[in-house]
Structure 1
């Protein structure tokens, strides 16, 4: 996405996804089915970072959080859609229908502009102005101001920094957000965010302790809750900010998971609906912040000069960690039981809440340049930071621009 552009990267990503779904739909053996999943997986890797970066670079600050969370809301809707279709239609038909959206997206992207940030960094100023004007609803004044600001930032970066290399990852404004996002990703996975998605039917079967509820129907219900609360999170990001949403989500996830673990450990009989209810509360709280925020933070925290590389590395580490945890999960569950699993989810959620409270800056309404300048200051913890940092940042940028001119 750094060489070819964010938009073209997303168009390229549609091809293996279409091919993967076709192979799955037409598979005649287990190996062909796995090959289809493997090819579709390339698309997931190509899409994740490029989508978040494109949204972050194209959005206005007051809308960035809401728009950056839409891919995660779409992910939740996709889970719901496939669960629902899978309960009504043969799986081969569902796989075939799944080619419709990537084909549509590939076509639609021909009519959408490239990221103005990417265009400016590749010397395409006129294209950047046109793209920015389109993105700002035809407002040439606003587009001109933002374009000039991006040009000034690039010139300042050229004067003060060398060419971007892997060593750039060690610079404070890159290393700090990398640590925050990747540690949060790891704790998010260990809090059960995606394990519930992958093992929904199996987990609900153990939670219910019987056949009083249809496990597949319950899985569809969890997908409904996840979609509803991911949409709610998109609006809440614009109203309460990242830190507040992280705290609400973390504490809600921890309390519901710990209560569920204690309830299942007591092995109460005749109360199957109570643990199922707390699973839904757990999914709702977890989706509200823990599932949504990592994607939002990737689009906001990484500096422009290395946003593509840092975003790609982050999603690579995320998927390696998720793969390992997902494969180990069945063995851990068999050793400590489903109650122990939810205790782990709860304790990790508490740890994640504490970590985010100490380190995560509030980025609601901030420009990407202001966020980048924040990480250039000394110190790592947000709670220990001088709350007048915004004035200091603006003062420092003004001095740099004055010196440049």
Structure 2
């Protein structure tokens, strides 16, 4: 995305996803199924950072939180869609239907502009102004003003970052501090169960002693809860600060996870509906903050000079950690049981809340330049910041 732009990268990313879904849908054996899954997985790696970086770069500060969280509404809706299709249809039909959306995405990107920030870094100034004019609904004066601010910002930094010094740039305080925040948050988010519950929803629900109804239907209900509360999170991001949302989600996730773990440990067989409600509440609270915030912050925390590289590296580490956790999770679940798993989720959520309270800056309403200036301060903890320079919203 640094060499060829955010838009073209996303278009290229649609191709393996289309091919992968068709390979899965028409697979004749297990090997072809794995090949299809691998090819589709390439697209996930290509789109994860690129989409968030693009949205973060093209939006105005007061809309950035809402628009950066919209991909997670799509993600939640996709989970719901596949769960519902999987409940009613044979899995091959679900795979083939899933190819429709990347085909639509590939087509629509021909009509959308490239990131103005990337264009200016490539010294394509007129194209950047045209893109900004389109993005700002034809307001030429606003587009010119914003383009000038971006150029001034880039003049203060090096205009080009070669691969020879990109690792040195990564060690600069304004890059290293957000890099640490993002990767620790991502790791604790995974351990809090955000994605493990998505991957193993049916398997987890089958092992809950107090649940006796259709586990596939129960998984559909968790997807419905996730989608509804993603929409709620998008609304909240317009009025609530990132820190408040993160801490509320972390504390709430911890309470609900530990409460359910205690309930399951005591083997309360008569509380079927209470157990179901606890699971849905856990999914809902976790979604509101922990699921959406890392993606939002990817587009906000990293400085423009290395946003693409740092964002891509962060998502690479995230996906590797998620891969490892997904592979060892069945063994962990078998060893410590469902109640032990939810204890792990709850403890991880507490640790994440403490970490975010100490480290995460408030970025709501701040320009990307303001956020970069904050990370250039000497402080490491948010609580020791210079409040006159970077106060909370």
User: CA–CA distance in 2 between the matches of 1:343 and 1:210?
Assistant: 19
Structure 1 residue 182 corresponds to structure 2 residue 179? no
**Pairwise CA distance, 1:358:** 0.7
Q: CA RMSD of the aligned region, Å?
A: 1.4
1:302 to partner: Cα distance: 0.4
The answer on 1:197 being equivalent to 2:219 is no
Does the CA-based 8 Å contact 1:62-1:364 persist in structure 2?
yes
Contact 1:164–1:305 (8 Å) recurs in 2: no
Q: Which runs of 5+ in 1 are unaligned?
A: 392-405
Distance 1:285 1:260 in 2: 14
Give the Cα separation in 1 of the matches to 2:266 and 2:156. Answer: 62
Helix, strand or coil at the partner of 1:223: helix
Residue aligning to 1:130: 130
Note closer, same or farther for the CA distance 1:140–1:210 as it changes in structure 2 (3 Å cut): closer
Match of 1:21 in 2: 21
TM-aligned CA deviation for residue 208 of structure 1: 4.3
Distance in 2 (CA, whole Å) between partners of 1:90 and 1:307 is: 41
Which 4+ residue blocks in structure 1 deviate beyond 3 angstroms?
159-164
Superimposed CA distance per residue, residues 119-169 of structure 1 (whole angstroms, 9 cap, x where no aligned partner)? 000010000000000000111111011000011111111389998521111
- For residues 48 and 225 of structure 1, the distance between their equivalents in structure 2, rounded to whole angstroms, comes to 23
Contact 1:208 1:275 in 2 (8 A): no
8 A contact 1:62–1:365 mirrored in 2: yes
User: Do the aligned partners of residues 224 and 159 (structure 1) sit closer, same or farther apart at CA in structure 2, a change above 3 Å counting?
Assistant: closer
2:226 aligned partner = 226
Aligned position for 1:273? 273
| Structure 2 unaligned residues grouped into runs of 5+ | none
Which TM-score applies when normalising by structure 1? 0.94
Counterpart of 1:311 in structure 2 is: 311
Q: What is the alpha-carbon distance in structure 1 between the residues aligned to residue 341 and residue 61 of structure 2?
A: 39
- Asked if the contact 1:204–1:218 (Cα under 8 Å) also holds between the matched residues in 2, the reply is yes
Aligned to 1:394: none
Counterparts of residues 363-378 of structure 1 (less than 5 Å): 363-378=363-378
Residue 204 of structure 1 contacts residue 276 of structure 1 at CA under 8 Å; is this kept in 2?
no
Between the aligned partners of 1:316 and 1:351, the Cα distance in structure 2 is: 23
* Residue pair 2:209, 2:269 contacting (<8 A) in 1 also: no
- For residues 347-371 of structure 1, the C-alpha deviation after alignment (integer angstroms, 9 at most, x for no partner) is 1101101110111000000000110
CA contact (8 A) 1:208 1:273 kept: no
- Residue 258 of structure 1 aligns with which residue? 258
With structure 2 as the length reference, what TM-score do the two structures score? 0.97
- Number of matched pairs: 390
In structure 2, do the counterparts of structure 1 residues 108 and 159 end up closer, same or farther at CA, with 3 Å as the change threshold? closer
Matches within 5 A, 1:376-391: 376-390=376-390
On the 8 A contact 2:209/2:264 being kept in 1, the answer is no
Q: What is the aligned partner in structure 2 of residue 400 from structure 1?
A: none
- Alpha-carbon distance between aligned partners in 1 of 2:267 and 2:210, rounded to the nearest angstrom: 9
